[in-house]
């Protein structure tokens, strides 16, 4: 993961990069650092802390060429020494790196044993700076390219040399985007750090590098041959990445859902056949995904199997790619990913492609690696999601599965009915968000040591997503389960101190969920119930009720996840947690 932000231009780049790094903290926040190139010297400022601490350390500094890094540790604990930028032993070169250099140990050993190089950190990244120094004979770009031929693994790298007014960068596996303005250039992990300066960007493709100097920018392949590139325009503005009056990004993103849901289906529901996914001869759909996207995809399985009669399997990308999956050319393998950068999901798609499958993406971030690799699919158009705990992407992913089922279904009645219900959904979501009573319920249970979440059928994955949200941001252990499975183990965890959150929609499994609630009740468990109708049984069995609007079956996960997102948010807040940046997590997991 890690975030990279760099500036080459006429202004003081220090405040520009510090602000940019703060926007990239969703990618990791274990430590941070800057390198400033000025008067043939590189100054490095680093901290074990977050960007706010780096800001204090960099107070009053100025340079026109600056690069910065915010770290999510992979090799070497998060401390000062391991923070980026890293320098060559002679301090002539500085680099920032996102990704993993897989052969770093052998390269390090060779440089140490044969050439007596001294290393200071435990990181895999330091070897990049040392190798550039090793190859340097007066031509920085040439040394940089020679370094690229030696390293294996995934990387987004930016490098500076004290004697060259040049900024070099390269990408393989980890994203880098160039921001282009007259006489000013930006390099970053995504466009958010420089959005107020330019929306004109070039997304570097795999195995591309760029050279920036006073004459402009050049994009090249790793052999140094110039490539022609196209400028793209970022489709959102600065307001999309600001908190907009909310205390946290997560809360803002929860409240954005009426619009993000609409944005996902608006341009498509009346032109459903214009979706660009090849569907001829498809006999099975396989979703590959991680985290929240995995739970969304489980919902997708329920929707598509029921409405289209097509078998669907849902796979953790990290398992799928290592277990020799049985794949056929008639399989459609769909990557489901908010960021479009998750390393395992990307590799799962590459594997499927190499085995002759049709591949597609359901992705939020336009121009992301997965979107490019797939070349066809559905964009969510949910705007940047910055809170580490995913919220609006989940609801939009479910909309995308509904669109996919409409696309595969030839039934005009189904399509017509869904269109009508989808069009009413944003207003229902908005109405719920305005009147919910969840903050007081969160206060009541904030000290609970463990939570159960249960649902059945299409709402079983929603229960798992609810438990994940709570774990991620409040650090309270929670288990999300299929309510029918409860008696095969988890019921042993129920006592008078255990809150169980039940999703009980008035649908075909309503009576079954009620029976499961009875089983919890008679073991003195506390029940928080999310329902779309308050019946006599629900009143009798529950301690707390959250009433949600009634919607058609396919849409219930979207309505039911809202109280779960808010419950997790308010419990975490009541416990004083760092909601947007929970410990140990990162938003885009670009390492395996």
Q: Which is nearer to ligand G6P, 126 or 341 (CB)?
A: 341
Q: Which is nearer to ligand G6P, 209 or 296 (CB)?
A: 296
For the chain, the 3-state helix, strand and coil shares in percent, each to the nearest 5, are: 40, 25, 35
Q: What is the size of the binding site for ligand G6P (CB under 6 A)?
A: 15
Instruction: Based on the shown chain and the rule CB under 6 A, indicate whether residue 585 belongs to the binding site for ligand G6P.
Output: yes
What span, in angstroms and rounded, lies between the C-alpha atoms of 545 and 452?
Answer: 16
Q: Which is nearer to ligand G6P, 166 or 368 (CB)?
A: 368
Instruction: Based on the shown chain and the rule CB under 6 A, indicate whether residue 587 belongs to the binding site for ligand G6P.
Output: yes
The residue of the chain with the least Cβ separation from ligand G6P equals 291
Instruction: Based on the shown chain and the rule CB under 6 A, indicate whether residue 345 belongs to the binding site for ligand G6P.
Output: yes
Q: Are 346 and 335 in contact (CB under 8 A)?
A: yes
Q: Which is nearer to ligand G6P, 107 or 467 (CB)?
A: 467
Q: Which is nearer to ligand G6P, 119 or 475 (CB)?
A: 475
What backbone torsions phi and psi does residue 218 show, to the nearest 5 degrees? -135, 135
Instruction: Based on the shown chain and the rule CB under 6 A, indicate whether residue 318 belongs to the binding site for ligand G6P.
Output: no
Nearest distance in Å: CB 471, ligand G6P? 11
Site for ligand G6P in 268-307 (CB under 6 A): 290-293
Nearest distance in Å: CB 197, ligand G6P? 26
Which of 343, 452, 589, 591 forms a contact with ligand G6P (CB under 6 A)? 589
What separation in angstroms does the CA of 319 have from each of 288, 316, 323, 371? Answer: 9, 5, 6, 21
Closest CA to 521 of 547, 486, 469: 486
Instruction: Based on the shown chain and the rule CB under 6 A, indicate whether residue 337 belongs to the binding site for ligand G6P.
Output: yes
Interface with ligand G6P by CB under 6 A: which range of 170-178, 409-417, 459-467, 581-589? 581-589
What span, in angstroms and rounded, lies between the C-alpha atoms of 89 and 33?
Answer: 18
Nearest distance in Å: CB 585, ligand G6P? 5
Nearest distance in Å: CB 346, ligand G6P? 9
Interface with ligand G6P by CB under 6 A: which range of 7-15, 64-72, 179-187, 338-346? 338-346
Instruction: Based on the shown chain and the rule CB under 6 A, indicate whether residue 390 belongs to the binding site for ligand G6P.
Output: yes
Bridge partners, 95 (sequence order): 86, 159
Dihedral sign for Cα 7, 177, 26, 34, please.
negative
Q: Which is nearer to ligand G6P, 111 or 297 (CB)?
A: 297
Contact track, ligand G6P, 493-532, x by CB under 6 A: ----------------------------------------
Residue with tokens 């650090």: 475
Nearest distance in Å: CB 334, ligand G6P? 12
Q: Could you confirm whether 2 is annotated as catalytic?
A: yes
Q: Which is nearer to ligand G6P, 8 or 401 (CB)?
A: 401
Q: Are 142 and 158 in contact (CB under 8 A)?
A: no
Residue with tokens 């990308």: 317
Nearest distance in Å: CB 153, ligand G6P? 19
R_g over Cα of the chain: 25
Q: Read off the tokens for 444.
A: 């009541």
Nearest distance in Å: CB 474, ligand G6P? 15
Of 46, 526, 573, 587, the active-site residue reads 587
What span, in angstroms and rounded, lies between the C-alpha atoms of 172 and 5?
Answer: 17
Q: Are 324 and 352 in contact (CB under 8 A)?
A: no
Bridge partners, 233 (sequence order): 200
Give the DSSP H or E segment for 511: helix 510-521
What span, in angstroms and rounded, lies between the C-alpha atoms of 502 and 543?
Answer: 11
As to burial, measured by CB atoms within 10 angstroms (0-12 exposed, 13-18 middle, 19+ buried), residue 446 is middle
> Catalytic residues, which ones?
2, 587
> What residue ranges bind ligand G6P (CB under 6 A)?
290-293, 337-339, 342, 345, 388, 390, 585, 587-589
């Amino acid at each position: 993961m890690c975030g990279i932000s760099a500036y080459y231009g006429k202004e003081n780049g220090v405040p520009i990069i510090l602000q940019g790094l703060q926007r990239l903290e969703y990618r990791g926040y274990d430590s941070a650092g800057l390198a400033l190139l000025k008067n043939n010297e590189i100054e490095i400022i680093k901290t074990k802390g977050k960007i706010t601490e780096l800001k204090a350390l960099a107070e009053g500094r100025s340079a026109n060429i600056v690069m910065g890094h915010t770290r999510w540790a992979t090799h070497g604990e998060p401390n000062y020494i391991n923070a980026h930028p890293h320098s060559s032993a002679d301090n002539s070169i500085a680099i920032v790196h996102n990704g993993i250099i897989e052969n770093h140990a052998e390269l390090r050993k060779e440089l140490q044993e044969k050439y007596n190089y001294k290393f200071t950190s435990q990181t895999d990244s330091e070897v990049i700076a040392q190798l550039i120094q090793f190859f340097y004979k007066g031509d920085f770009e040439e040394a940089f390219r020679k370094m690229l031929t030696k390293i294996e693994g995934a990387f987004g790298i930016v490098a500076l040399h004290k004697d060259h007014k040049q900024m070099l960068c390269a990408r393989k596996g980890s994203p880098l985007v160039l921001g282009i303005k007259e006489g000013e250039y930006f390099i970053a992990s995504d466009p958010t750090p420089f959005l107020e300066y330019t929306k004109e960007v070039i997304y570097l493709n795999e195995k591309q590098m760029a050279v920036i100097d006073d004459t402009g920018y050049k994009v090249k392949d790793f052999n140094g041959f110039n490539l022609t590139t196209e400028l793209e325009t970022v489709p959102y503005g600065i307001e999309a990445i600001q908190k907009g009056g909310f205390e946290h990004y997560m809360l803002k993103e929860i409240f954005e859902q009426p619009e993000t849901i609409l944005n996902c289906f608006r341009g498509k529901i009346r032109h459903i056949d214009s979706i660009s996914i090849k569907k001829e001869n498809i006999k099975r759909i396989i979703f590959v995904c991680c985290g929240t996207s995995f739970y969304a995809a489980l919902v997708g399985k329920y929707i598509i199997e029921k409405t289209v009669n097509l078998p669907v399997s849902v796979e953790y990308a990290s398992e799928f790619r290592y277990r020799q999956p049985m794949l056929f050319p008639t399989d459609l393998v769909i990557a489901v990913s908010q960021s479009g950068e998750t390393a395992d999901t990307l590799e799962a798609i590459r594997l499927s492609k190499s085995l002759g499958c049709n591949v597609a993406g359901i992705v939020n971030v336009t121009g992301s690696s997965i979107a490019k690799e797939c070349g066809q699919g559905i964009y969510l158009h949910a705007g940047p999601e910055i809170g580490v705990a995913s919220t609006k992407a989940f609801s939009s992913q479910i909309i995308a599965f509904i669109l996919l089922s409409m696309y595969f279904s030839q039934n005009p009645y189904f399509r017509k009915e869904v269109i009508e219900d989808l069009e009413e959904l944003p207003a229902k979501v908005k109405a719920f968000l305005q009147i919910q009573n969840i903050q007081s319920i969160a206060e009541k249970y904030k000290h609970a040591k463990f939570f159960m979440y249960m649902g059945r059928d299409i709402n079983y994955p929603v229960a798992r997503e609810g438990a994940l949200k709570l774990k991620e941001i409040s650090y309270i252990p929670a288990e999300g389960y299929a309510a029918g499975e409860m008696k095969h183990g988890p019921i042993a965890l129920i006592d008078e101190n255990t809150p169980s959150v039940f999703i009980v929609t008035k649908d075909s499994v309503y009576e079954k969920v009620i029976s499961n609630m009875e089983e919890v009740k008679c073991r003195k468990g506390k029940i928080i119930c999310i329902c779309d109708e308050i019946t006599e049984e629900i009143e009798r069995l529950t301690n707390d009720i959250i009433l949600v609007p009634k919607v058609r079956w396919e849409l219930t996960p979207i309505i039911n996840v809202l109280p779960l997102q808010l419950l997790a948010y308010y419990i975490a807040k009541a416990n004083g947690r760092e909601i947007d940046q929970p410990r140990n997590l990162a938003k885009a997991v670009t390492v395996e």
